[in-house]
A = this chain, B = another copy of it.
């Protein structure tokens, strides 16, 4: 395998494009110096290339499986996970008072992206634990924190999210798992949960499940849902895994990809759990974990995009074929259409990465400053980072197969694995359709303030850079102006279905335009005529223009969608 960690791109983006310097100017993150940032990126990159990426194929070829009641991972997984845990990478952004490193989410996002590209299936373990750590930091009692956080942060135990039930997927409010008060400060949890990533495995000593459940007599819908921490083994007084809890893995799903990651059907049979946060506050607490995870999933998409790009590039540089090869001994990288694919892959991966990191910076600034404007920015960017990042992950991985020609369809090359693995990222942590509905619904409930503030920044910067880059700046400005008009249209729709009808193309247009903005920012920060400037030009001239088609679709409204009856759809 040819995974190469994009350390330089991350360093450039953090230091010169998305604004890590603002984050380190706050008291909360003053330790994240340029030297430390660079050292962390280098160290993480080295681990990804040398320790994690080498186990990626094994996880696909030898899927994690149940063996005499124990979940066995592929060869090398235990060692690679142990390297992640012992390197302190699980607790990167956990608070120092709990044993974490207290680093910005921005830097965590960079590291998570690289780990995802190296081995998506394995990277799910630390990512889910990070989300759980954050949820416990915000919502758990001091006693729970003291018992669970150190082991989660050290990576000895891992964390999972238990939302979905067979009849309750995107509609979490329909769940029926029960939580009955044991009268001793604990609850008895009973029910079945599905799609539980890493619900059990041989890479950790214990598993901490965060489970959404309903107390007897709780109101219907999401208001009646509470959150519980339910460990596989109940910690003893010394804090070590003690007696087994009443829960078990019923089966593992047979999935299209991500074979290295066990996706469990979990059965809770009166399992002991502790309430996290207030009664009925389960959804709010879970959303702490989920928003973090949504950005993380976006970064997963970027990670696979980058991995697929370097993999395809290595093949193209090596593969002799055709006219160019016969004339000059060159390889397919010199064919125009192959070059088009590679440049598109690189430019899109970079743009999606820049968006994810911008979102992370906003989250950090919101945490460090308590400024509502930053919180609104973070909330607005999260669904875009998630959905656009994972759409780019899919399209770039798919192009990676195409660069390989016939070899791409053969599993041995590994190109197909990227496509199969990344597919789930557009689905889990809220499908991309759910992200789009969040964007045009909840995230525009401010009347568009957060959206318009961002558009203002984009347009101002484009305006200011017309002197140096007239064409690029003009293209970005025009795109932002069209997006502003579409946003005004969205905000003007009182019937939510009118917004929902165009939500997904509207989100994709945001991704394209933000990508253009951040590419322009990159070109401005690059040395004149530098490689980054040339890549930015490619993106802005050839990929940005897609926004127009998305926006036309986005503002057509609901009528034409519901114009055909079910019978006509079936005809």
Contact = CB atoms under 8 A, between A and B. Distances in A.
Specify how many copies of this chain sit in the oligomer: 2
A339 interface: yes
A336 B553 contact: no
A504 B337 contact: yes
A506 to B, nearest CB: 11
Contact of A402 (B416, B420, B431, B547): B431
Interface stretch (A114-122, A268-276, A352-360, A557-565): A557-565
Nearest to A417: B256
A282 B166 CA distance: 57
A487 B361 CA distance: 45
B346 A169 contact: no
A214 interface: no
> Which of A340, A502, A543: most chain B Cβ within 10 A?
A340
A287 interface: no
A433 interface: yes
Contacts of A194: 406
B545 A337 contact: no
A534 B500 CA distance: 20
A446 interface: no
A272 B427 CA distance: 54
Interface stretch (A25-33, A319-327, A374-382, A460-468): A319-327
A243 interface: no
Contacts of A338: 433
Nearest to A4: B570
A262 B541 CA distance: 43
B342 A164 contact: no
B545 A560 contact: no
A545 B538 contact: no
A142 to B, nearest CB: 35
Interface string A544-571: 0111110011001010111110101111
A394 interface: yes
A247 B337 CA distance: 36
Contact of A560 (B342, B537, B549, B569): B537
23 contacts: A168-B321, A170-B405, A195-B406, A256-B420, A310-B570, A317-B570, A336-B501, A337-B437, A337-B503, A338-B433, A339-B501, A343-B569, A398-B423, A402-B426, A402-B427, A406-B427, A419-B423, A531-B571, A534-B563, A534-B568, A542-B556, A545-B549, A548-B549
Given A313-B569, A336-B562, 9 more contacts: A336-B497, A336-B500, A339-B501, A535-B564, A541-B553, A541-B560, A542-B556, A542-B560, A545-B549
